[in-house]
Amino acid sequence: MICKYCSKPATIHLTDIVGGQKKITNICKECAEAKQLLKQSDNDLPGILQGLISKHIGKEADELSKLVCPDCGTRYMDFRAQGRLGCPKDYNHFKLGLEPLIEKIQHSKKHLGKIPKRNPDLSGKRSDEILKIRQELKKAIELESYEEAARLRDLLREKENPDEF
């Protein structure tokens, strides 16, 4: 089969239905591009495949499957398999997937109940700090640097009980 325009081998076969009649146009890739007979995306095979994949499993699912909590190491997919989250920070790191899920099971996504009167850790900032100190403390114990460990332990106590200091 040769191209309708330049007689080179035709690799593209466009089918049109005109007035109930099927009409096939055989053209080569160069002419098709020159005459803009193809949409850019039709010509891009990996792009087409990607499109098909995300159409079937969902672009979000693909994104969610890559989510990992940097604090506790739990993957979003672990949570979906086991139904249990790994740490409080997961609620931030997995928000993309969790929010719609919470809305589905709870019929709401906004807490209207009690709020801790003291020590509310609203930003999660303090828990970040505590987590970091605790990791350092663990390392200090492993390295047997006990002076550093004692310092970190006191710091940890202070952070955990801001009222007592």
Partner 1 sequence: MNFEALSKSSGEWLKGSGIESDIVISSRIRLARNLAGFPFPNRASNFQKAEIENLLKDRIQTLEFEQKFEYVSLTALNTLDRQFLVERQLISRELAANDGPRGVALGNLESLSLMVNEEDHLRLQVMRSGFSLESAWETINKLDDYLEKKVSYAFHEEFGYLTACPTNVGTGMRASVMLHLPALDFTKQIDKVFRALQRINLTHRGLYGEGSRFSGHFFQISNQVTLGKSETAILNEIYSVIPQIIDYERQARVAWKKDNGQILQDRISRAFGTLSSATMMTSDETMELLSYVRLGIHMKMIEDVDINTVNELFIQTQPAHLQKLMGSTLDGEERNTARAKFLRSKLRSSGSTPN
The site for partner 1 (CB under 8 A) is made up of: 71-74, 82-88, 91-92, 98, 101-102, 105-122, 124, 126-128, 130-131, 134, 160-161, 163
Q: Which is nearer to partner 1, 34 or 101 (CB)?
A: 101
Residue 158, token pair as written in the block = 């202070």
Strand partners of residue 2: 9
Instruction: In whole angstroms, give the CA distance from residue 40 to residue 52.
Output: 16
Min CB(83)–partner 1 separation in Å: 6
Closer Cβ to partner 1, 11 or 106, answer by number: 106
DSSP letter, residue 12: E
Do residues 79 and 68 touch, judged by C-beta distance below 8 A?
no
Q: Least CB distance from residue 125 to partner 1, whole Å?
A: 10
Cβ-based nearer residue to partner 1, 37 or 101? 101
Longest CA–CA span in the chain (Å) reads: 89
| Smallest gap from residue 161 Cβ to partner 1 (A) | 7
Dist. CA 101–CA 64, nearest whole Å:
13
Task: Closer to partner 1 by CB, 16 or 163: give it.
Answer: 163
- Terminal Cα distance for the chain, rounded: 87
Q: How far is the CB of 140 from partner 1 (least distance, A)?
A: 14
